Structure 1
Amino acid sequence: MYIHVGEDVMVRSSEIIAILEKGTVHSSDEIKHFLEKNKKAVVYLSNGNFKSMIITSPHVYLSPIAPGTLKKRLLKPDSDVEIDD
């Protein structure tokens, strides 16, 4: 199953490692360090104003879509995804 994460980008749900909200990204030094270390893998899907960070094996997406909306998309009845809150 694929999930729309912003712009024209679709991500295979099995590739998603984590979805984090903007507040968590800004408040965690570890995440800031992770983003700095992996800056070549970061894909900006909004004009600097993101609501969530989606970590996948090849990329890190900064998305204008709220984490709750992404979770709802992952939990659709035809989804084979298990979510650990």
Structure 2
Amino acid sequence: MYLHLGQNVVVAHRDIVGLFDLDNTTSSHLTRKFLERAEKEGRVINVSDDLPRAFVLCRREQGPPMVYLSQLSVAALLRRAENNSFE
């Protein structure tokens, strides 16, 4: 199964490590450092037309995980995952 993150980007459910709300998680300096490092290393993909509301952490076969920034809320992403919706 796959999860549609926005802008025709889908990821396999098995590769998803976690879904995180940007407003809540970026209050932590550790999360900010993680996201800054991922961006410097080219591991952040912005699939948002607007301000991103969530980030999705996805494992890869090799190397550190990828970070996808989505304009969808965590609640919307969870509904899509449960319904396997590609809207």
In the superposition, the TM-score normalised over structure 1's length comes to 0.81
Aligned ranges 1:36-51 → 2 under 5 Å: 36-39=36-39, 40-47=42-49, 49-51=51-53
From 38, 56, 71, the equivalent of 2:78 is 71
- In structure 1, what is the Cα distance between the partners aligned to 2:53 and 2:36? 18
Aligned ranges 1:1-85 → 2 under 5 Å: 1-39=1-39, 40-47=42-49, 49-58=51-60, 59-76=66-83
Amino acid of the structure 1 residue aligned with 2:74: P
| More moved, 42-51 vs 54-63 | 42-51
- In structure 1, what is the Cα distance between the partners aligned to 2:22 and 2:13? 20
- In structure 1, what is the Cα distance between the partners aligned to 2:51 and 2:45? 13
Q: Give, in angstroms, the shift of residue 21 of structure 1.
A: 0.6
Amino acid of the structure 2 residue aligned with 1:5: L
Structure 1: 5+ residue stretches without partners: 79-85
- In structure 1, what is the Cα distance between the partners aligned to 2:68 and 2:32? 14
Listed one character per residue, the Cα deviations across residues 5-61 of structure 1 (whole Å, up to 9, x for unaligned) are 011100001100010112123211111111122111000112461011000014100
Structure 2: 5+ residue stretches without partners: 61-65
Give me the CA root mean square deviation: 1.6
1:3 match: secondary structure: strand
Larger relative contact order, structure 1 or 2 (CA cutoff 8 Å, min sep 6): 2
| More moved, 11-20 vs 45-54 | 45-54
